[in-house]
Amino acid sequence: VARAVDVPELVEQARAGRPRAVARLISLVEDAHPALREVMAALAPHTGGAHVIGLTGSPGVGKSTSTSALVKALRGRELRVGVLAVDPSSPFSGGALLGDRVRMQDHALDPGVYIRSMATRGHLGGLSWSTPQALRVLDAAGCDVVIVETVGVGQSEVEIAGMADTTVVLLAPGMGDGIQAAKAGILEIGDVFVVNKADRDGADATVRDIRHMISLGEARAPGDWRPPVVKTVASREEGLDDLLTALDKHRAWLGETGHLRERRLRRAADEVEAIAMTVLRERMGDLRHGAALDSLAASVVDGRTDPYAAADQLVDAVTATAADAR
Amino acid sequence: VARAVDVPELVEQARAGRPRAVARLISLVEDAHPALREVMAALAPHTGGAHVIGLTGSPGVGKSTSTSALVKALRGRELRVGVLAVDPSSPFSGGALLGDRVRMQDHALDPGVYIRSMATRGHLGGLSWSTPQALRVLDAAGCDVVIVETVGVGQSEVEIAGMADTTVVLLAPGMGDGIQAAKAGILEIGDVFVVNKADRDGADATVRDIRHMISLGEARAPGDWRPPVVKTVASREEGLDDLLTALDKHRAWLGETGHLRERRLRRAADEVEAIAMTVLRERMGDLRHGAALDSLAASVVDGRTDPYAAADQLVDAVTATAADAR
């Protein structure tokens, strides 16, 4: 028998700012604990307050240093900050610590910062299925900002854009990132572009490249968002004010134009749909271990029915299970 | 409006051996034509007669030459043969013709042979979703043997083993295939192993390697199938009698031991389940374009409900749709 969980108590403690309660709630989510549904129901009324920032970029552009510097800047404004690191190479994820001057350890004892590394299991290189739920925990726990850091390879950068209110794309000079970005379609997901390591040669050229490519993008109507390009040297905490200003402006634009609600509606719809598919798949699995699917398969093998008609019957059986459960 | 299809007439013609009717039925399946369900229902009573042989191997081992030689040998027995080529590099798939001495053109005018290349769309490098349905068309059309040829990379070789009664793994001497085979888990899916190009140096060593590895496999009970290793030179049509004998023996063993039914039941269950999930996903898509999912998403964004409770409601809505449809 699993240890009983006092969900209302945990949620109350998390909202009061107890890091252990927050950590426990995220663990319940990650482990798909039987109390998961109760947890999500208890959190729901307290969600929606956090500004969710997705931060992505190729390896080597300084993502973790930038995240750390951004956390520090936000803390300077007395904001509560959550970090979900979905980057397997991130030092926050338990990987090797990089030689960055600013490290997450700076924040380890700060009660206003929650840091959590998320496993990427079940979703090769992409975001874990539990990332949206962990995000809800941090949101409900009173974080003003939640940063989701992912390495910008393959699928995860597109996923993060679906999950975040504001997507920050990090680049560095002289890495051919400008051209790479265009290829990877990263231009379309970036709400704010950051050229980090801006003290290096070629920083201005990289900024110009990105600006040029943004201007080449599809014609924008007046009032549309034009992604700003910000220069930072995260390791020296330079340019963070400009970044915060850009983030504030985007957040304000989202709110004023109704895009915030639109993005969040789409995100919620995707999430609900994915969970519903999982529920139906599980019910089908139960039917498989029962006899329903076996007898349908026998009908198909014997030529008494075809796979499509059998599938309809299976859907009906799943349906009946759902009706019984009510 | 799509052109009306006289399904009973098409099926009758296909069963009478008209290649154009067979081709048209497979096209209806591949295009997911509105008549698809009617086609599958009409075919069902006539399926189950064909011996389905999966043929797989790395590029360069001579898959297409072997398929062609095998077709010729089966035709020598007056058997009707179908070929589904899911190998993008196969000459049957419309790719460049190789310099093989025996080519599929040999069979182009033979009314006892159906050859069809299947697109691999929607399933990177793997079998198309419509492959099992195309297989049913050839089966119902009266083919005694259906050969499904796939290139042995990635996922497709495992998929083919799930789909075939007998899986033939093709190897060639001196390609390090023996070791590669073990690595790729190809040993576990092979019911019959063929060392093609057996006139080359190292053929006997390759045969020994495979036999050795088979013997290292999990302990077999008496009566279990022990995969034979056959040597062929497909380009000179040598060794085909041995291959036919091995295929016959495996088919007989499958029938006598009940494994044939077991394999086909599992295959049918997988197929029915996959179709049912697609049906449910489509219904959910309809709800998305309707208002149901939108209003659930709004409840989640407003914190009136959580994604799991909303998903339950969505499942109920899908369920109600199913009940209405009855």
Lowest mean pLDDT among A93-107, A198-212, B123-137, B157-171: A93-107
- The token pair that represents A38 in the structure block: 């109760």
What is the average pLDDT score of chain A? 82
The percent of residues above 70 in pLDDT, for chain A, comes to: 78
Q: Does A241 touch chain B (CB under 8 A)?
A: no
B interface test, pick of A11, A139, A280 with most B CB neighbours within 10 Å: A280
What per-residue confidence (pLDDT) applies to B55?
93
Determine the distance in angstroms separating the CA of A53 from the nearest CA of chain B, rounded to an integer: 17
Q: Which residues of chain B have pLDDT under 50?
A: 1, 93-103, 121-126, 326
In this predicted structure, what is the pLDDT of residue A140? 95
- Statement: residue A98 has pLDDT above 80: no
Q: What is the pLDDT of residue B319?
A: 77
* AA identity, residue A276: A
- Contact assignment for B273 to A265 by CB distance below 8 Å: no
- Given this model, what pLDDT does residue B125 score? 42
CB contacts under 8 A, A 251-310 vs B, are: 261, 264-266, 268-269, 271-273, 275-281, 284, 288, 293-294, 296-298, 300-310
ipTM for the predicted complex = 0.79
pLDDT of amino acid A1: 47
* Predicted TM-score of the model (pTM): 0.68
Distance from CA of B225 to the nearest CA of A (A): 23
Which H, E and C letters describe B213-228, residue by residue? HHHHCCCCCCCCCCCC
CA–CA min distance A298, chain B (Å)? 6
* Residue A322 predicted with pLDDT over 70: no
